[in-house]
Amino acid sequence: MPDAGESEAEDGKRFPSDLSKSNAIKTTPDGFTYLDPAQFRAYFAAELPADETDFMARSQVLNFGANFKAKITQAAWRTKPSWMLVAASDRAINPELECWYAERVKSKKIEVAPGACHAVYVSQPKRVAALIEEAATSNSD
């Protein structure tokens, strides 16, 4: 949830993640990034079964590395309500950064998922869906 003029990479320096301090992020010659498949489970989906994370590691969608450094021009949270689920054991994004974002944007609800990894949408889908449904049916402006 960067603000206008900020980037994810800059904001991530406030509360570095375990992933950002590791050697697990790999870059292709043309600038796309992915997680080292051997380290994928540890940094992205530690609470999921190994066979599932092995598949996820092999089927990653590469991201253009410069995207993380792109400056936001307009932050949607300035005009729309925000809801946040913090994956308490997230090693890809520091949970302290997620909480900082939630506080800064005055999220309508902050839900902490103890033990949840970055792939909380896979590991705890009912909890994620419930929060999305609550946000979708709220009368918040």
Task: List pLDDT tens digits, range 103-133.
Answer: 999 998 888 889 999 999 999 999 999 999 9
Contact between residue 20 and residue 12 where contact means Cβ atoms under 8 Å apart: yes
- Using CA atoms of 51, 60, 118, 120 in order, give the dihedral in degrees to the nearest 10: -60
Q: pTM to 2 decimals?
A: 0.90
| High-pLDDT (> 70) share of the chain, % | 99
pLDDT at 20: 96
pLDDT at 70: 96
pLDDT at 140: 59
User: Where in the chain does DSSP place strands (E)?
Assistant: 25-27, 32-35, 63-64, 83-87, 109-113
Whether 59 has a pLDDT exceeding 90, the answer reads yes
Contacts with 21 (C-beta within 8 Å, 6 or more apart), sequence order: none
| High-pLDDT (> 90) share of the chain, % | 92
